[in-house]
Structure 1
Amino acid sequence: MAELTAKGRATRARILAVAADLVLKQGVAGTQIEDVRRAAGVSGSQMTHYFRDKRTLIKDVIAWQADKMQRLHQTPELGELDSYAAWRRWADLVVERQTARDFQGGCDFGSLAGQLVESDADTRADLAAGYERWLELFRRGLEAMRARGELREDADPDALAQSLLAALQGGLLLSQTLRRVEPLRNSLNAVLTYLGSYADPGRRPA
């Protein structure tokens, strides 16, 4: 695609936001290009200008959701996720956000992955790349904690990042299904306790 103007970028972003919302509400199979076109209020020629077909649109929705996930984890409140206090705030914010949603929706990126991961190798690779970005964000914070001595030398930032993300994803899905807070809160508390077990004894969080 040729470089877009500011107006073109805004139009494309609006279409992607609408498409992402429809996919979450209706599922990938239940969302057609025409549904997105009508909801976004654009012409057929505009749709084909930005997205050749549904496959291209869904590929870009995956990237859009991955970018959104990154933004949610890069806020002044969370900093670089490189302290126990930051991880505690992260867990509290996740619980608050899901409680405010009445546990409807779960993880937007995880919802996409659940629908698409077995569809084809290219789509699975796109989803895996999104999760790898998430893991890298977590890993950087954990590596900084280990470098400062807040985590013991035997702490494995990669394994800890995977544990944190798995606890988040599993807790979100279970709370979404059961419509109650305990599975999410308990899974996050458990993984933070596990993280704390790697603290230097003199710097272990309360």
Structure 2
Amino acid sequence: MRDVVALQAAEVLEAQHRHLQRLDSFRGLERWRDVLVERSALRNGAYGCPLGSLASELADQDEEARKAMARHFATWEALLEAGFARMRDSGVLRADVDAGWLATGLMAALQGGYLLAQTAQNVEPMRIALDMAIAHVKTYAPPAANAAPEAGSSTR
């Protein structure tokens, strides 16, 4: 089972790394969301998160697997945190933003969205959860950034 966890985590985290390694704009965050939602919609009714599904099955059964899952989620969250830090450092987000706090909130919205999408067999709850979380992140833009168009880059 640990090999399955490691393989699944490697696949998920590699994809997340590709999309988040240069995240530095709201548009990049929206593109990341679009990729996640589209990928979930294309999985023939398997709308859940591959890591989240394993975590829900294993966390109470195998302490080592639970610890491994926690490390994998922390790695994913760290990719988001680094992106928010770049956004903060470049002025896209206010200087007082706690990048880790935003990353935890977005990860929670994502995982909850995955769970609801899986239960409903409809990607819309996931899209709504991510849209609401991203809208909240945007409230941390400095006032001047709200008036001017964003100089953007990508998530690649």
The TM-score range, normalised by the shorter chain, is 0.7 to 0.9
What is the Cα deviation at residue 128 of structure 1?
Answer: 0.6
Counterpart in the other structure of 1:70: 13
Cα deviations by residue, 1:77-105 (Å, 9 ceiling, x for unpaired): 65522211110001111111122224414
Larger radius of gyration: 1
Identity of aligned residues (%): 39
1:167 aligns with 2:114: no
Worse-superposed segment, 107-116 or 144-153: 144-153
CA distance in 1, matches of 2:121, 2:87: 34
Count residues with an aligned counterpart: 148
Counterpart in the other structure of 2:153: none
Contact 2:21 2:79 in 1 (8 A): no
**Residue identity in the other structure for 1:128:** A
Which is bigger in relative contact order (C-alpha 8 A, separation at least 6)? 2
1:59 aligns with 2:2: yes
Counterpart in the other structure of 1:27: none
Which of 91, 94, 99 is the matching residue for 2:36?
94
Identify unmatched segments of 5+ residues in structure 2. 151-156
Contact 2:47 2:122 in 1 (8 A): no
Q: Counterparts in 2 of 1:1-206, with a 5 A limit?
A: 58-75=1-18, 80-204=22-146
Given the two structures, how large is their TM-score scaled by the length of structure 2? 0.87
Give the superposed CA RMSD. 1.8
Identify unmatched segments of 5+ residues in structure 1. 1-57
Given the two structures, how large is their TM-score scaled by the length of structure 1? 0.67
Cα deviations by residue, 1:40-99 (Å, 9 ceiling, x for unpaired): xxxxxxxxxxxxxxxxxx212212222111211233x65522211110001111111122
CA distance in 2, matches of 1:181, 1:70: 21
Contact 1:79 1:86 in 2 (8 A): no
